[in-house]
Structure 1
Amino acid sequence: MISSWRKKRATRQTKRDGLDDLSNVEISIPRHFRCPISLDLMKDPVTLSTGITYDRHSIETWIEAGNQTCPITKQVLTTLESTPNHTLRKMIQDWCVDNRSYGIERIPTPRIPLNSHQVTEMLSKIVAACRRDEASACQELVARIKRLAKESERNKRCLVANGTVGVLASLFETFSKSPFEKNVAVLEEILLVLSMMTPLDGEAKSFLGSTTSLNCMVWFLNSGDLSVRTNCILVLKHVLSTDQKKMEELSKIEGSLEALVKLIKEPVSPTTTKASLIIIYYMVSTSSSSRVVEKIVTRFTDMGLIERLLEMLMDCEKSICEKALGVLDGLCLYKQGREKAYANALTMPVLVKKILRVSDLATEFSVSIVWKLCKNEKREDGGVIVEALQVGAFQKLLLLLQFGCSDRIKDKATELLKMLNLHRDKLEECIDSMDFKNLKRSS
C-alpha cells in the first residue's frame, strides 16, 4: 500500500494550465523515504548496525521497549547506538522542497542528540570552573545543560545517565557556602535544572541535604520569587523523602517551618502546595524521637496550620485533600494538635464528610483522625463524640464496614462505633443522603 498526502488547494493559489480548481492533489511518498516501523515520512533518518534505516523516534521507542534486534532483519544489534543518515535526510528535504507547491513543508534539519562524551566534557568544564570559583562560567554551562535537557527526553536521559545530577548537586553545595548571596544567579539556575531531573539519586541527596545546602534552600523559600520557590520546594521534597536526620536538620533552621506553612497559606500553585504538604507529612509522621516531633508539631499548630488545613479541606482537589488529611492525621497524634482540632467548629463536619467521598486513602485518614479525637475526648458530655453523631458519623461508619475497608481501618471504625453508640440516645443523627450517592460495594 502506498502512503500519500492530500492537500486541498488554497483559493488564492495561482491558476495553472487554465484549471480553476485542483481540489485534491495526491503526492506519493517514495518508499525509501518512509520509516519501516511507522510507514511515515522520516524526519530524522538513522541507520543501525544492520544497515537498515529508520526514523530516530520510531527506532528509539523500539529499543527503549527492551528490544535489542533490528525490526526488519531480526538480527541482534551489535550496538544500540544509531548513525545519522545525512544523505537520505538531505534527499528527503530536497523532495519536500520540490513539492512545496502542494503544501508539503520542508523537514527541518534535526538537532544532533547528546552523547556521553559531550556530557562528560561539559561536566568536566563545570567542575574546573567551580574550582576556580567562576560562578558566571558555571552559570553559562548550567544554562546550556538546561537548554539541552529541554530539547528532548533523550537528551535528558543522557544527562542523567552520565552523572549530571550529582555534579550539579555538588556544585549547589559549593556555591551555598556563606555568603551565598553573591552566587544567587547560578544557584537559581542549578535549582531549575535539578527540578527537571527528579527523582534524585543518593549522591545528589547527600550534597543537597548538607547543612549549607539546606540553609540556602530555606533562604530561597523565604526570599526567592515564585519560580525559584517552586523549584526549591520540588527539589527539597526529593532531598528529604523519608530521611529523618535531614528532616530534623531542616526543622532546626530558622524560618524553615514558616516557609513551608507560607506555601500552604499563600499557595503559589497546586504543585508547590502538594510538595509542601508532603514535606510536612514526613516531619509529623516520622518515627523519630517523639520529643523532637512534638516540638515541630507545636510550632506548626502555633502557626495556625490546622485551621488552614480544615479550610482547604472544604474545597480542594483529590490529591491535595489526601495530603492535607495525612498531615492532619499526623498532627492529631499529639495533644497540641488535638486541642486545636477540638477548638475548631469545622473539624468534625469536614472529616465525616470526607469519609467515603474522596478516595480510600482519604477515608482511611479521616477515620483515623476521628478515632484519635474521640478516643482522647475527656469531656463528660461527649464533646466531639456527640458532634460526630450530629453530622452522621455513625451511619457512615456502618456503611464503611458494610462496603469493605482495610483491617486497620476496620478496627478503628468498630471501636468508633462502640464509642458513638454510648451517646446515640442523646440525639438523632443528621445524614446527608448525597454522601452515599453512587456508592459501590468493594470487591
Structure 2
Amino acid sequence: MVRDDLYITVPSFFRCPISLDVMKSPVSLCTGVTYDRSSIQRWLDDGNNTCPATMQVLHTKEFVPNRTLHRLIQIWSDSVQRRVDSPESSPPKPLLSQDQVLGLIRRLDRHSDSSFDSLSKIVCFARDSDENRRFLTGADGFVPTLVELLANAGDGASRSLDLAELAVRALDMIRSEIADTEKLATSMLKQSHCLRSLVRVLQRGSVESRIGSARILEAIAVDAESKLIIAEKEEVLQELLKLISPEKDRSLMEAGLSCLIAVSMARRVKVKLVNLGAVKSLGKCLEEQNLSVSMTERVLRLLERVSSVKEGVSEICGSERECVVDRVVQRLMKVSSAATEHAVTVLWGVCYVHRNRAAQEAVVKANGVTKILLLMQTNCSPAVRQMSADLLKIFRLTSSNSTSFISSYDTNTTHITPF
C-alpha cells in the first residue's frame, strides 16, 4: 500500500493523453503520438478518424507498440515500488549507483541482447538528475558507445529501432554536457549509418525520440562541412520538413525548425529545401494564429534563408493565391524585434534585391507600406532601418511609372515623409 506521506511525481510522457493515467500498454499512431492501447482503441471504436492530441486526420488507424516507452515505464514503476516498500525512516534510494551504471556501460560494449535493458536503465538514471547526466558524460567510453550503438542500429529491424531510440534519448539528455561537440560530430559523421539511424528515428520514432533526433542533428552541425553532410544525407531534409506542420506537436516543430536553420547555410541546400516544398510549409505555419513568438521567429528566419535564392523568391511570390508575402507583412511589428527583422529581410530580398513585381504588389495590398513607414519611426536596428528605406525607394520609384504604389496609396499616415 502507498504511504500517505510519499509524494510521487509521474513523468508527463508516461501518462496517456486521453485518460491521463500511467500507460499500461503504450502504442503510437501514425502521427507519432503515443496513447494507452485501451484508451485509443475506445476512441477509434467510437468512429473517430483523428488523432485526439493533434486532431490530425489519420491516414491509417493502425498503431504500433511503443516498446521503448513501455520498458521505461516498467523500470520507473519498479523504482517507485521499491521506494514505497522501503522503511519509512529510510530515504528513497537512487535507482542505480554509479558503480552499477559503469557496469551497465561495459555491458553495452558487448552488443548482446542485454544492451536494450542496460540502456533502458541508463536512460532512467540520466532522467533522475543533472548530476547523473554529468556523470554519464564523463564516464569513460559512454558517448563513443552510444555512437556505435546508433551506427549498428541501421539494419531496419524493429528491435534495432528500439535501441536507436534509446541511444537517441540518452545522447539528447547529455548533449548539453558534452564539451567537445566537434569531436562528437566527427565520430558520428564518419559513420554514415549513424545518420541513417537518426533518419529512421525521425520517420518511425516516438515524438520524444524524433525531437531528440532533430536536436542531435543540430548539435553536430558544427561547421560548413558537417552542415552540408547532414543536409545532403538522403531523406534528412524531407523528414525534418515533415516536423514543421502546424498540426504537429509544438516541441517537435521547434526542434525541426531549429535543425533546418542550422543546416541551411549553403546555397544548394536552400535550393533543395525550396524544391521539397519548404516555402509552402512555412506559409502554412504563418497562417497559424496561435503560433508562439519563438516559433514565429524560427519560421521567418528559415523563410529568410530561402528568400536569398531565386528559386525561393519564385516560390514565395508564386501566384496570387499562393503568395506568402502578405503573411510576412502581417507579422511586421506584431511579434518581436527579431521576427520583424527576419520579415523585413524577406521583403527586402524579394522586393528590392530581386525586384519581383508580384511581391511589391502584395506588400501594398497587405498595407505593408504603412507598416514600413511606421517601422522607420521606431527604435529599430540600423540594418532594419536601411532595408526599410530601400523598400520605400522601390515603391516610390515604381510609383513614377504606375498608379499602383505610393503615388496613389491611400493611408492615414501620409504625414510621414521618409524622403
State the distance in 2 between where 1:200 and 1:432 align.
55
Matching residue of 1:385: 360
SS in 1 for 2:111: coil
State the distance in 2 between where 1:281 and 1:129 align.
34
Matching residue of 1:326: 301
2:136 is aligned, of 159, 164, 171, to: 159
Matching residue of 2:259: 279
State the distance in 1 between where 2:187 and 2:209 align.
19
Report matched runs for 1:270-419 at 5 Å.
270-284=250-264, 286=265, 288=266, 293-294=267-268, 296-315=269-288, 316-345=291-320, 346-377=323-354, 382-419=357-394
State the distance in 2 between where 1:123 and 1:188 align.
21
User: Structure 1 residues 254, 112: closer, same or farther in 2, change over 3 A?
Assistant: closer
Matching residue of 1:248: 228
Q: Which runs of 5+ in 1 are unaligned?
A: 1-96, 98-105, 434-443
Check if 1:258 corresponds to 2:241. Answer: no
2:105 is aligned, of 120, 126, 133, to: 126
Matching residue of 1:217: 198
User: Structure 1 residues 143, 313: closer, same or farther in 2, change over 3 A?
Assistant: same
User: Structure 1 residues 224, 125: closer, same or farther in 2, change over 3 A?
Assistant: closer
Q: Which one is further off, 336-345 or 386-395? A: 386-395
| Cα displacement (A) at 1:396 | 1.6
| Cα displacement (A) at 1:214 | 0.8
| Cα displacement (A) at 1:217 | 0.8
SS in 1 for 2:91: coil
1:175 is aligned, of 137, 152, 177, to: 152
Q: Is the 8 A contact 1:349 1:391 kept in 2?
A: yes
SS in 1 for 2:220: helix
Q: Size of the alignment, in residue pairs?
A: 314
User: Which string of whole-angstrom CA distances, capped at 9 and with x for unpartnered residues, describes residues 183-205 of structure 1?
Assistant: 33322211122222232622433
| Cα displacement (A) at 1:378 | 5.0
> TM-score by structure 2 length?
0.67
Q: Which runs of 5+ in 2 are unaligned?
A: 1-86, 414-419
Matching residue of 1:230: 211
State the distance in 1 between where 2:365 and 2:102 align.
64
**In the alignment, residue 404 of structure 2 is paired with which amino acid?**
K
State the distance in 2 between where 1:378 and 1:262 align.
31
State the distance in 2 between where 1:267 and 1:207 align.
35
Q: Is the 8 A contact 1:123 1:167 kept in 2?
A: no
Report matched runs for 1:140-151 at 5 Å.
140-151=117-128
Q: Is the 8 A contact 2:306 2:313 kept in 1?
A: yes
State the distance in 1 between where 2:246 and 2:370 align.
36
User: Structure 1 residues 173, 188: closer, same or farther in 2, change over 3 A?
Assistant: closer
**Higher RCO, 1 vs 2 (CA within 8 Å, ≥6 residues apart):** 2
Q: Which one is further off, 339-348 or 166-175? A: 166-175
Q: Which one is further off, 382-391 or 337-346? A: 382-391
Check if 1:110 corresponds to 2:110. Answer: no
Matching residue of 1:20: none
State the distance in 1 between where 2:411 and 2:89 align.
64
Matching residue of 1:192: 169
**In the alignment, residue 312 of structure 1 is paired with which amino acid?**
C
Q: Is the 8 A contact 2:107 2:114 kept in 1?
A: no
> TM-score by structure 1 length?
0.63
**In the alignment, residue 195 of structure 1 is paired with which amino acid?**
D
Check if 1:426 corresponds to 2:404. Answer: yes
User: Structure 1 residues 227, 426: closer, same or farther in 2, change over 3 A?
Assistant: closer
Q: Is the 8 A contact 1:207 1:213 kept in 2?
A: no
**In the alignment, residue 149 of structure 1 is paired with which amino acid?**
A
SS in 1 for 2:93: coil
SS in 2 for 1:402: coil
Q: Is the 8 A contact 1:172 1:190 kept in 2?
A: yes
